[in-house]
Structure 1
Amino acid sequence: MALSLSFFPVLSMLLLALSRVAGAATVVYDFNITWVRANPDGLYERPTIGINGQWPLPVMTATINDTIVVNVDNQLGNQTTTIHFHGMFQNGTTDMDGPNQVTQCGIAPGSQFTYNFTVKQAGTYWYHSHYYGQYPDGLRAPFIISDPDYPYKGQFDEELVLSVSDWYHQEMRVLIPKFLSKANPTGAEPIPQAALFNDTQNLTVTVQPGKTYLIHLVNVGAFAGQYIWFEGHNMTIVEVDGVYTDEAEAEMIYISPAQRYSFMVTTKNETSTNYAFIGSMDTTLFDKIPNGLNWNVTGWLVYDSAKPLPTPALVDKFNDFDDFDLVPYDKKPLLPDPDQTITLDVMMGVLGDGKPYAFFQNISYVSQKVPTLYTVMSTGENATNPAVYGEFSNSFVLGHNQINEIVVNNHDSGKHPFHLHGHNFQVIARSEEQAGDFDPSNSSQTDYPAIPMRRDTITLNPNGNLVFRFASDNPGVWLFHCHIEWHMDQGLVATMVEAPLEIQKSLTIPQDHFDACRAANIPYAGNAAGNTIDVLDLAGANAPPGPLPAGFTTRGIVALVFSCISALLGLAVISWYGSVDMGAANKATEQQRIAEMNQPESHELVSPATTVVEAPEAETDTKTETEIEMER
């Protein structure tokens, strides 16, 4: 299976995949993680997290049954990191899943860490940091796993890799404290400054007439779902989130953060015109649309480079494909009635510190003092008691090889793309918007499909509900969370502790895991509070602030906060007028005006490989990661 260099930069490792014969191999990646500088939308250069001095990052590739070894050297200097291989089941290697304080301690600056696992699945995946909202700073890229027995082999001529994302001009360590702030009690998420294809804009893709291209599409963004369409061409969907599907024709798809699609596009038999393809951010997610925001990103299928690149046509409405209608290629039937049902109500609100939080069943997730997997490994028979993992890890213990049903009710007016680590799941019910909570006594809500759609990330509609099932046949510690990064930072996370006694029997934690904990001075044994003597004593476990005082509503705290802000601004203005050097102020204003005039009005076509690799200077006046987390 071949992947084209035309759709993503730095794909040299794909050529290695071409040269390997089918069968198991060991694929080694050495990742030196550093700061570089980048300007993907042509409007603002900023520090960005690169690998081996490069950004955009390399596309990882492998063949099913290969062993993947990723040697990480964290040379960021001022930030810890981890890597999560999104969508990988990690069968037997839950310790390689990557979430900070869940299956490992973070990799401290100057430290090394090795991920080592075997891929037992094929399809479209990606890798990204799973450390305190870090991946929108650049540490994310696709991961494509080929399959010698691919069911649509022979039906396409070439493979292409395409990522879509939103992009922020400020670093997350600046944005997160502003977002999780008393000054933002409504939890209005930061609005991205741009949308990108393959971490750039104005992407051009050379195609040949009369050929069929298999396109692997990944949304590596932090916030915005995106509508995707190719003018003059239909898409034939054949995979979602690593699950092969029956062929399904679509004019347009909606892809939430963390979701993946593979689809075939057949080009026309003539070269008279080039065609635009578009990504359009879902602006219904935004509290407001800033002046001047371009929420679209455009690329072009180039049949003839001598012909112009057409302006995309206006779209009257979004007519996107409903992924609930997809049928898995393997025709796996509906799982039996569940052994365990977990109901999770999604809520957004304010706690006693006046800051915005997100909740499952009134619990806002807080990472614990001991990574949850290490608590599994060090609490013996008590590992089956969810209490040892801490109330605010939001942990649920699942029995081995049982059928689990998760009901998610959305008490929020926004969409939420929910992702389960370690599994894909059967989506057996999903309501439209404003449908309210799931009612199992309502036969119209329990008319489940005989062959349900499966994927690992599913979008929950505003004030709606969804139901999914999976078998707990993969012992491990697996997060379930919203993949809008802001909502995860707010605590919209639960922990599935699957067959903990089986984990104890089969797993040995590598030494470099413990070395990473020592480097960061993090305990790696005992319950959530680090208690190794009485593991049912959770005194000292991490917890969010207490609730608001009785009768104190969110609306009330909003009014109080903005009244205080208004008063402070008024005092500041009075003080400024009394002390400012007006000449200096006028000079500063003129300098700003000139700087704005010098900004480019448009961004010319750029090569996706364009990267500047100058390391940023350390910022001494920003809060540390520990301070940010402790404020929560």
Structure 2
Amino acid sequence: MLNRKLLAVFIVCVGSCFQFGLGADPNRFDGDPILKDFLQPNHITNGDYDFLTTQDAEARGICTRPCDGAKPMICYYHFTLENYATVGPACGNCTNGSPNDCNNKHCVTADGFERAVLTINRQIPGPSIQVCLFDTIVVDVHNKMLGKTVTLHWHGLYQRFTPFMDGVQFVTQCPILHNTKFRYKFPGVPDGSFFYHSHIGLQKMEGIEGSLIIREPKSVDKTTHLWDYDLPSHAVIVTDWHHDMTDQKYPGFLHTNTGNFPESYLINGKNNYVYPNGTSLNAPYAQFNVKRGSRYRFRLIGGSCLSCPYLLTVEKHKMLLIATDGTYCEPEEYDTITMLAGDRMDVVINAKEGNAGDSFWIQVKAACSNFNNTNIHGEAILHYVNDQRPKYQAVPMGQRPNSDTYGRGKSLNAGDVGDCSDPNSDLVCMSHVNALEPPVNPIVLKDQADFRLPLKINFHLFNEDSLFWNDRDQYHHWELPAPGILASAVINNRSFEFTPFPLLTQIAPIPAHLRCPDKCSNEANSTDLCECTHILQYPLGSVGEIIFIDFTPNGNFYHPMHLHGNDMYIIEQGKIPANYAQDIPRFVDELSARMDSEGPKLTSTRGKPVVKDTIGNIPAGYTVVRVHFNNPGFWFLHCHFIFHTDVGMGLILQIGEKYQMRGPPAFFPRCNNFLPPVYPHEFDEFIRSEYTKRTLELDNQ
């Protein structure tokens, strides 16, 4: 009789899977032995897998392959999450004269600054998952981080068939406890550029994230005529970086090391930090090889965590935008691109500016108006080669560019400096970008949405008296983003609190203290704070119009708002006019009235709205989106600035009724509070028996 686990694998494969490889690395001892033949490599982006044929890859059991003619495969990953350190023992003398040591197995260099980190399989970023459309993705997460729980969210995937795999703590699953394993398993749909990351606390910024690419066959890709190569090594994930554990920034310091702005940036986990006095830490840069005369698709992933967006430039090269957040858009060329936490941009770089041996800088730099130190940046290298398949090796470079070396030029997603009012400006907002085609289901652009949801983004400000001295021991969540500011984040005056159990997979009453009371005001500037599990329910199949509005006092924060499980179609973006600054509710009313009048014209005025799951609501601005809620479940909507999420800037959209949602598999983990009743005298019998026993023992002495 077949082993049960093996039988399960066999059943999955029958009729759809022809995979008889020996596994990517037969010498690895991590992972489920039953699935060892499906175990994928840790370093898909190192260049060694760029030119595998479909036949060769499938013979070796490797899922990263050309997808034309590809047979569906099981793609198994084993992730060990643990505490680690940069430039540690595995790095030898990497930064002290032996650069080859930087390539040692398990060497994590980051920007060369030694600090504690969290890693997946002892690397930052974690292993890149790159598969073909309709492959089966299986990820075993083994949590070996000391004293920490974790979940992994698959950012941008709808999880239509597996909503319980969305990876949000206490919404779709229980946290994964220390020294336990949890298996994520879901189909590789849709195609596009995505990423995964921890969804608990500040772990994402400590290193728990990685790229996730799902390719469709090139023969059906609608942008194939624009590029020649889509290489696994050209998945680019950018991380903003601290030189301390991010936990040390929360809730924030008052006297030293204040604020939570980045100190550096990493590109595919690498950079070379240079102190203000010019001293370099001699860490290696990430390198991307190209050959003159070819066009390369680069998949840019905003793995950052902070409110400060970053500006990406490729020296002497333009970037042709072809997709955003996994959806094709009308091609347009840009000199620079501004990216926020959660953004993904697919661009084509035409390798026509250099010859073999030439190298050019790729730079990301901080781009936020409320940050005095604009000299925070990170670099990588675009290197021209003769042979498409050279072994990657360090390339000597000239003077590292400063943050003001490159101009902005024609810039995408430039709401930080533009007001989005002029579609012909070189400062282009996402509302000026068109999708390649109209929505698949035109209902999303119906004359009138079924409901309108204004979401007022703001902060509740405490003082020392209300937060500490007179708080009646309520223990509010809060942060100290700058000296003198004690804040909790709110949407419609509600600061989000998670339930102690996952709403999707367990049926249990929400504790009374977490229910949002009817008395909660929707006014953004209410002095009464509601901390509760903010849930809004809408019918399955309904079309909603969401208006994100920045009500913050100074209006100097970008808010990258991410919606799980659904797409958002951007209808309009802009700055709130100055004459409404003191009366934003009136602006919202007038905007809503205008949306009502313009609704019947949407198919002609905005017939191909750009599609995103993460919207950068510009500082002191607003964004209008349409959503077709056709995916039943509990879907988290939140700011992707990690500190804002942790102090309450989120809510849950319940789409449909519970009976319309897919239930979890058997033996799915459960969790909840444990608060058994307490009865008077319930231990009396035990106490009497123990007392009697002790008395007899004493009498017999």
Shorter-chain TM-score tier = 0.7 to 0.9
Aligned residue number for residue 264 of structure 2:
194
Query: What secondary structure, in the 3-state scheme, does the structure 2 residue paired with 1:150 have?
Result: coil
Query: What secondary structure, in the 3-state scheme, does the structure 2 residue paired with 1:35 have?
Result: strand
2:382 to 297, 301, 326: 301
| CA apart distance, 1:328 | 1.7
Matched, 1:276 2:361: yes
1:356-389 residue CA offsets vs partner (Å, 9 max, x unmatched): 10111111111122222245x4579xxxx9989x
Output the CA distance in 2 between the equivalents of 1:164 and 1:475.
Answer: 32
Output the CA distance in 2 between the equivalents of 1:81 and 1:10.
Answer: 30
User: Structure 1 residues 188 and 502 mapped into 2: Cα distance closer, same or farther (>3 Å)?
Assistant: farther
| CA apart distance, 1:176 | 1.6
1:393 to 501, 516, 533: 533
Structure 1 stretch displaced more, 273-282 or 67-76:
273-282
Is the radius of gyration larger for structure 1 or structure 2? 2
| CA apart distance, 1:500 | 2.5
Query: What secondary structure, in the 3-state scheme, does the structure 2 residue paired with 1:486 have?
Result: helix
User: Structure 1 residues 317 and 366 mapped into 2: Cα distance closer, same or farther (>3 Å)?
Assistant: same
| CA apart distance, 1:317 | 4.6
Q: How does 1:416-565 map to 2 (within 5 A)?
A: 416-432=559-575, 434=577, 436=584, 437-438=587-588, 439-442=591-594, 448=602, 449-504=606-661, 506-514=662-670, 517=671, 522=673
2:406 to 309, 315, 319: 315
Aligned residue number for residue 445 of structure 2:
335
User: Structure 1 residues 116 and 306 mapped into 2: Cα distance closer, same or farther (>3 Å)?
Assistant: closer
Q: Could you tell me the percent identity over the aligned residues?
A: 23
The AA in structure 2 aligned to 1:315 is Y
Aligned residue number for residue 461 of structure 2:
350
Q: How does 1:116-155 map to 2 (within 5 A)?
A: 116-148=185-217, 149-153=220-224, 155=227
1:438-487 residue CA offsets vs partner (Å, 9 max, x unmatched): 32224798775122111101111112111111111100111111101011
User: Structure 1 residues 306 and 465 mapped into 2: Cα distance closer, same or farther (>3 Å)?
Assistant: closer
Output the CA distance in 2 between the equivalents of 1:308 and 1:134.
Answer: 33
Output the CA distance in 2 between the equivalents of 1:484 and 1:371.
Answer: 23
Matched, 1:17 2:63: yes
Query: What secondary structure, in the 3-state scheme, does the structure 1 residue paired with 2:224 have?
Result: coil
User: Structure 1 residues 508 and 6 mapped into 2: Cα distance closer, same or farther (>3 Å)?
Assistant: closer
1:232-264 residue CA offsets vs partner (Å, 9 max, x unmatched): 111111110011112111111111111001011
Aligned residue number for residue 14 of structure 2:
none
Q: Is the 8 A contact 1:216 1:260 kept in 2?
A: yes
Matched, 1:407 2:407: no
Q: Is the 8 A contact 1:64 1:146 kept in 2?
A: yes
Q: Is the 8 A contact 2:516 2:532 kept in 1?
A: no
Aligned residue number for residue 100 of structure 1:
169
Q: Is the 8 A contact 1:27 1:67 kept in 2?
A: yes
User: Structure 1 residues 32 and 401 mapped into 2: Cα distance closer, same or farther (>3 Å)?
Assistant: same
| CA apart distance, 1:157 | 2.5
The AA in structure 1 aligned to 2:491 is F
Query: What secondary structure, in the 3-state scheme, does the structure 1 residue paired with 2:504 have?
Result: helix
Query: What secondary structure, in the 3-state scheme, does the structure 2 residue paired with 1:440 have?
Result: helix
CA RMSD of aligned residues (A): 3.2
User: Structure 1 residues 73 and 41 mapped into 2: Cα distance closer, same or farther (>3 Å)?
Assistant: closer
- Structure with more relative contact order (C-alpha pairs < 8 Å, separation 6 or more): 1
Query: What secondary structure, in the 3-state scheme, does the structure 2 residue paired with 1:214 have?
Result: strand
1:29 to 72, 77, 80: 77
User: Structure 1 residues 497 and 212 mapped into 2: Cα distance closer, same or farther (>3 Å)?
Assistant: same
The AA in structure 1 aligned to 2:155 is H
1:296-325 residue CA offsets vs partner (Å, 9 max, x unmatched): 212222226888546547235564122222
Q: How does 1:538-617 map to 2 (within 5 A)?
A: none
1:206-255 residue CA offsets vs partner (Å, 9 max, x unmatched): 22111111000001111131111212111111110011112111111111
Aligned residue number for residue 552 of structure 1:
none
The AA in structure 2 aligned to 1:470 is V
Q: Is the 8 A contact 2:338 2:411 kept in 1?
A: yes
The AA in structure 1 aligned to 2:548 is V
Aligned residue number for residue 45 of structure 1:
114
Output the CA distance in 2 between the equivalents of 1:429 and 1:306.
Answer: 44
Matched, 1:362 2:493: yes
Output the CA distance in 2 between the equivalents of 1:530 and 1:348.
Answer: 36
Q: Is the 8 A contact 1:75 1:110 kept in 2?
A: yes
1:143-192 residue CA offsets vs partner (Å, 9 max, x unmatched): 0111012222353224211111210122233222336xxx59xx974121
Matched, 1:250 2:321: no
The AA in structure 2 aligned to 1:474 is N
Matched, 1:266 2:340: no
Structure 1 stretch displaced more, 311-320 or 131-140:
311-320
Output the CA distance in 2 between the equivalents of 1:499 and 1:24.
Answer: 32
| CA apart distance, 1:142 | 0.8
Where structure 2 has 5 or more consecutive residues not aligned to the other structure, the ranges are 1-40, 88-108, 272-284, 386-393, 413-427, 469-477, 479-486, 519-529, 579-583, 678-701
User: Structure 1 residues 63 and 331 mapped into 2: Cα distance closer, same or farther (>3 Å)?
Assistant: same
Where structure 1 has 5 or more consecutive residues not aligned to the other structure, the ranges are 524-528, 532-632
